[in-house]
Structure 1
Amino acid sequence: MKICLINSSYEGVNSPFEQPSSDPNNKYDDFPDPNRYISKDCHEFVTRYVTRCNAEAEIDEMRKEDLDMFMNYMWGIETDEVAGVEATRYLETKGVPILTNPSTFAAQKTGLRVPENTPGKFPKIVKYSDGYGSLNLDENSIRDTDKEVTDCVALLRKEKTPFGIIAQDYIIVHECSAIGVEMGKEVVGLTPLQYVFPKDTPDNEAFLTWYNNFEAVDKGVIKYRFVEEQPHMEHLQHAATEAFKALGVSGGAGWARIDVRLEESTGLVYVIEVNCIPVVFYPKGNTLGDDLVVGEKFPGGQAAFIDMLLATKQMQLGWHRRQNEHVAEIYDRFAPSYHSVWTATELSKLKSYLATNWDYSGTVLDVAWGTGGLGQLVHDQGIRADLSGIDLSPGMLENIEFKKYYKELRGAGEFDHIACFGALHFPGPVYLNAVLARMFMIARKSVSISVDDVSDEYVTAIKEKHGELTFNANHEAVYHERSLIYTSPTNAEEVYGFVMRFERVPGACRDGH
């Protein structure tokens, strides 16, 4: 896929983020580039820059290129001199697929816990209401009396900036952040980060000033740690997902980073700021934090993360709806004979081997369950398991005989074990990476999958019989040992593949939960 990254150009403006590229201290805005993390064999990213004064003409020129998707990194608000929300609105009128950061990205207070301006309560923080990057914040922004607050507001007004000014209760807590990202129909909070200040830092200085955001973090004076202990991790992730939903942009926003403050004594989380463009895909080893979360805690790192964003966007746009409906119809017709056909295959024997030799106790999600053969095998082994199943084909779900082994025919939340056999050749590489990443995020103990080595002849035969919408992909290239999985009922070809079992290391964190 060829994806265009659109960045706000600093040409002709005086942005606090702009510095000459030759300046060794230019660390505020090294532009993002997924090419740093993702092979061009997977996706090609091209970067284009848009100025506010000439945005429409520059966007029109981009649209003449052969591009599959636009990834929007334009960040300016109405009061900025760089391209942003107005240019995004123009891009949206062109009907092109846009990944991340829609023009409607504006945080709403409704339903969120934010710092108030309680009369008589101190200390308070005085800041720009719609600034960014902790613009103009320093230790003098914390005030202890009404007069100090009034004086600070007056001082900021002298700056003659277009920003509004607010005073809020200063919450003496931990400074944290968490990325909220759309995954299919869900919004998921990734592993939160906490800023760790030097231990002798006074409470009223332990917050992100402009200097702390960049210089102190870059020098290692202020560090990060992953927040993985409960209940703090859950509270921070919940705050991130709720703040994302409160934006009213679910179904097209992609992601956001939510900056919060965690009051450890109460567990309360206060939303401070919503950043519509997390600092992801920046130079490797950067100290800005968001790449650290994605690289170390998202299954598959940045490469799988971009595929999750792409797969979700394609789902939202309905790109594969007809294909899914077509495949479902084929399996609806196949459902009455499905169990008898596949019981005799090597895949059934491999399922039996896994059920016999590996733990499936607890909750199990059977993805693409067919008619529920895995449930029968687990039951026959005497394993105490609560099974749930999902399948694209309604006809498969009507098999009364095997429904008795399943608690429910749908999937939601976490499971001890996730299994998917005989179905991963249907999604293309983008969807496969997204599906596997999600499996590893919600599986507490294990993931078991099969990967079919389908030949070009097999793919052609399937399309000749069932139509061009019947898509199959071969994902086996990275493996070198394989076994016979089944003999195709379409053309009698022997299909080989792999069955793999992954088990979670005790104590390892599952991002998003």
Structure 2
Amino acid sequence: MKICLINSSYEGVNSPFEKYDDLPDPGRYISKEHHEFTTRYVTKANAKAEIDEICKEGYDMYMNYMWGIESDDVAGVEATRYLESKGAPILTNPSSFLVKNIVDLKEVADRVGLRVPGNTPGRFPKIVKYSDGYGSLNLDKKSICYTDDEVSTQIALMRKKDDKFGILVQDYIVGRECTAIVLEMGREVVALTPLRYTFPLNTPKHEEFFTWENKFEAEIQHTIQKEFVEKGPHKANLQTAAVEAFKALGVTGGGGWARVDMRLEETTDDVYVIDVNCIPVVFYPPGNDLDDDLVVDEKFPGGHPAFFDMLLATKQIQLGWHEAGNSHITTFYDRFANGYDQAWEKAPVSEIQKSVVRKYDFSGTVLDVACGTGAIGRILHQQGVQAETVGIDLSPGMLENVELRKCYKEVRVGSMEELIMGADECDHITCFQALHFLNTIFLNAVLARMFMLARKSVTLEGEDVSDICIQGMKQKHPGLTFNADHVSAVEKFGVPKGWNRVLNERKFMFRSQTVGCDVYGYIMRFERVNTELYGEEVSAMDLPTS
């Protein structure tokens, strides 16, 4: 796809952020063969004319990085509203998100029961900060106050320094600084692995928070360390709070992503949401010391390319771009449902599936993606595997199979690219004879989600579809369905960190009666490394120490 990255221009603006802002560019991580990125800059003064010219260039998607609020000197809210009025497909950061601040978070938190710091009379210490702004702007050690007089003095100093922002007084939560990226995945919202920060030894508790200095210089110099919160109640509580905060602001269905800053209270382990930032610091130069890129690189299966394609796939789902093709596939398999089992029994793929189940462990919970009439569930049942299987499939007709209902705990009707996003964690995920229906963007998104959900294994069949077969399908079903050889795409996705590929064999699968050609495929199985360590609470990151 041709994608335009629209950035706020620093031209003629004395912004403190310019020193640290190398400006995001997914093209640093994604090949031009997959997506083509072009960066354009918009000034606040000439936003409409500049956006008019950008829209004339004819991009498939516009990724909005403009960030300024009304009181800022850089383009942001107003320019985004104008871009939206052009009817352009916009990826991330709608104007409705850009206008949100800490006051909005407080108002919605009270309605949904989300913990945010209050301003409890007589409770100290307090933190005094601007209710608008970014990057802990103007926060320093003096921001923590222990008396009403100190609060009043700090407010006066801040108003004198900059009176265009509102000022907020909150209870200072003594505890650990934490953060989590949240991402819309299809119609779901998912939080990635949270980070927890450790300040230098002997740092007073009231100084363990992100001042402007800490957020930039101290992190760059590694005097503040970070660790992943991998498992356990802290991880779950931080992720839940992050997702609830994002949803509470009402920006789903177009917000795309956010970084949620939180505090883990020392005495209670309660999670307090501090802020929801609409632009995570992702796609900056490789090797940077910014936390968000680190999370994507270490913890998002498929890394930055898959992360970006998750954003794209989600936007396409929200726009309904996949519906016509899926409707056609549904109709085809509804008609084929009654004869499908008979054709499957005669095809080599049936013996391949039976062999895989005999050879590898599938005990526990299994998610069978694109389950069809339930071949995998029946094989597990026939071979006596103690498995609790859930199936998802696009075709209601395929799911009407009587034998399927005996072998599956539950079946869900819908597209794999949507239902996989809202699926529960499970021990194993399987997917046979379906990935070729996904375009490469959806493929990367689906694969990433599979590896996020599976605790033990992912077993896939990727069809090595010949050009003759692909062209034959296009002639039979012009413009209505996607059919591709994804072998190279799966190789480019790679083996996620923490996983091993234990099987990768090319096999003859079946002969396509539709186009009259033989179809081969690769059987692949991935197993998580050290699954017994899957429940660890924290893993320190491989970073230089102070």
The verdict on a shared fold, with TM-score over 0.5 as the criterion, is yes
Distance 1:62 1:214, change over 3 A: same
Aligned twin of 2:23: 31
Structure 2 partner of 1:23: none
Match of 1:460 in 2: 471
Q: Distance in 2 between matches of 1:7 and 1:127?
A: 27
Q: Does 1:68 align with 2:65?
A: no
User: In structure 2, do the counterparts of structure 1 residues 229 and 401 end up closer, same or farther at CA, with 3 Å as the change threshold?
Assistant: closer
Match of 1:475 among 457, 480, 486: 486
2:441 matched to 1:449? no
The aligned amino acid for 1:454 is V
2:513 and 2:332 map into 1 onto residues whose CA distance is: 13
Equivalent residue for 1:77, pick from 47, 52, 69: 69
Partners of 2:374 and 2:128 in 1: how far apart? 60
Q: 2:378 is matched with which residue?
A: 376
Match of 1:152 among 145, 154, 165: 154
- Higher share in helix: 2
Indicate whether 1:104 and 2:115 are aligned. Answer: no
Task: Give the residue type in structure 2 aligned to 1:151.
Answer: T
Q: Distance in 1 between matches of 2:534 and 2:448?
A: 15
Aligned-pair Cα RMSD in Å: 1.5
Matched residues in 2 for 1:132 and 1:402: separation? Answer: 54
- Give CA-to-partner distance per residue, 1:365-396, whole Å, 9 cap, x none: 11111100111111110011111111111111
1:251 corresponds to which of 253, 271, 275: 253
Shift in CA distance, 240/510, structure 1 to aligned 2, threshold 3 Å: farther
Shift of 1:468: 2.9
Counterparts in 2 of 1:307-346, with a 5 A limit? 307-346=309-348
Could you say which residue in structure 1 is the equivalent of 2:87?
95
Residue 128 of structure 1: CA displacement?
A: 0.6
Match of 2:185 in 1: 183
Corresponding residue SS for 2:403: helix
In 1, the alpha carbon distance for the partners of 2:43 and 2:362 equals 56
Equivalent pair of 1:176/1:192 in contact (CA under 8 Å): yes
CA apart distance, 1:224 = 1.3
Distance 1:150 1:94 in 2: 46
Match of 1:201 in 2: 203
Q: Which residue of 2 aligns with 1:237?
A: 239
Paired with 2:146 and 2:341, the residues of 1 have a C-alpha distance of: 73
1: CA distance, partners of 2:465 / 2:431? 17
Give the distance between the partners of 2:351 and 2:403, measured in 1 at CA.
20
CA contact (8 A) 2:367 2:430 kept: yes
Q: Distance in 1 between matches of 2:475 and 2:167?
A: 66
Are 1:10 and 2:10 counterparts? yes
- Comparing 105-114 and 50-59, the one that deviates more: 105-114
Shift of 1:401: 2.4
Q: Are the equivalent residues in 1 in contact too, given 2:464–2:521 (CA < 8 A)?
A: yes
Structure 1 residues 131 and 468, CA, compared in 2 at 3 Å: closer, same or farther? closer
CA distance in 2, matches of 1:256, 1:30: 19
User: Does the CA contact (< 8 Å) of 1:179 and 1:189 recur in 2?
Assistant: yes
Matched, 1:44 2:36: yes
Corresponding residue SS for 1:393: coil
* Other-structure match for 1:438: 449
Q: Could you tell me which amino acid in structure 2 is paired with residue 49 of structure 1? A: Y
Match of 2:262 in 1: 260
Q: Displacement, 1:135?
A: 0.8
Which residue is 1:305 aligned to? 307
One-letter code of the match for 2:287?
G
Distance 1:60 1:296 in 2: 39
Give ranges in structure 1 of 5+ residues lacking alignment: 19-25
- Going from structure 1 to structure 2, the CA distance change for 1:445 and 1:264 (only over 3 Å counts) comes to farther
In structure 2, how many angstroms separate the alpha carbons of the residues matched to 1:71 and 1:354? Answer: 42
Indicate the residue corresponding to 1:22 in structure 2: none
What is the rounded CA distance, in whole Å, between the counterparts of 1:343 and 1:136 in structure 2?
Answer: 69
Shift, 1:228, TM fit: 1.6
Kept in 2: contact 1:442–1:510 (CA 8 A)? no
Question: In the TM superposition, what is the alpha-carbon distance from 1:349 to its structure 2 partner?
Answer: 1.0
**How many angstroms apart in 2 are the aligned matches of 1:388 and 1:275?**
36
Offset, 1:508: 4.7
Q: What residue identity is the alignment partner of 1:238?
A: T
Counterpart selection for 2:294 from 274, 292, 295? 292
Corresponding residue of 1:167? 169
Q: Is the 8 A contact 1:371 1:397 kept in 2?
A: yes
**What residue number does 2:135 align with?**
133
Deviates more, 1:153-162 or 1:422-431: 153-162
Distance 1:353 1:56 in 2: 62
Bigger mean CA deviation after superposition, 457-466 or 208-217: 457-466
Confirm or deny: 8 A CA contact 2:391 2:410 kept in the other structure: yes
- Following TM superposition, by how much is the alpha carbon of 1:131 offset from its aligned partner in structure 2, in angstroms? 2.1
Contact 2:61–2:90 under 8 Å retained in 1: yes
Deviation at 1:13, TM superposition (A): 1.5
TM-score normalised by length of structure 1: 0.96
Partner of 2:508: 484
Distance between the aligned counterparts of 1:458 and 1:342, measured in 2? Answer: 19
Equivalent-residue separation in structure 1 for 2:448 and 2:79 (angstroms)? 33
Aligned to 2:218: 216
SS in 1 for 2:409: strand
Relative to 1, partners in 2 of residues 1:457 and 1:509: Cα closer, same or farther, differing over 3 Å? farther
- Alpha-carbon offset, residue 430 of structure 1: 0.6
Letter in 1 for 2:487: E
Deviation at 1:47, TM superposition (A): 0.5
**TM superposition shift of 1:481:** 5.3
Q: Deviations over 1:239-286 (max 9, x none)?
A: 111111011011111100001101143221111111100000001111
Structure 2 gap segments, 5+ residues each: 413-418, 492-503, 538-546
Distance 2:81 2:515 in 1: 51
1:91 partner letter: L
- Contact 1:125/1:169 (8 A) holds in 2: yes
Rounded to whole Å, the distance in 1 between the matches of 2:410 and 2:444 is: 26
For 1:425, the equivalent position in structure 2 comes to 436
* Runs of 4+ that moved beyond 4 A: 478-481, 508-511
The whole-number CA distance in structure 2 between the counterparts of 1:15 and 1:440 is: 41
> Residues 509 and 96 from structure 1, CA distance in 2 versus in 1: closer, same or farther, beyond 3 angstroms?
farther
Q: Which amino acid aligns with 1:8?
A: S
SS in 2 for 1:477: helix
Map Cα deviations across residues 316-344 of structure 1 (whole Å, 9 max, x no partner). 00011111101110111111101110121
Tell me the SS of whatever aligns to 1:194. Answer: strand
Separation (CA, whole Å) in 2 of partners of 1:310 and 1:215: 33
Q: How many Å apart are 1:158 and its aligned residue?
A: 1.1
Q: Find the residue that maps to 1:261 and give its secondary structure.
A: strand
Identity %: 63
Q: Which residue matches 2:496?
A: none
Aligned residue type for 1:99: L
Letter paired with 1:372: G
1:388-447 per-residue CA deviation (whole Å, 9 max, x = no partner) reads 111111111111222110110026311111000000100011110000000000011110
The one-letter code of the counterpart of 2:271 is V
Counterpart CA distance in 1 for 2:179 and 2:479 is 46
CA distance in 2 between counterparts of 1:465 and 1:13 reads 57
Name 2:528's counterpart in structure 1.
504
Task: Compute the TM-score of the two structures, normalised by the length of structure 2.
Answer: 0.90
- The residue that corresponds to 2:426 in the other structure is 415
**SS of the counterpart of 2:285?**
coil
Deviations 1:91-150 (A, max 9, x none): 001111100001011253322211000000000011111121111110011110111111
Please state whether the residue corresponding to 2:250 is helix, strand or coil: coil
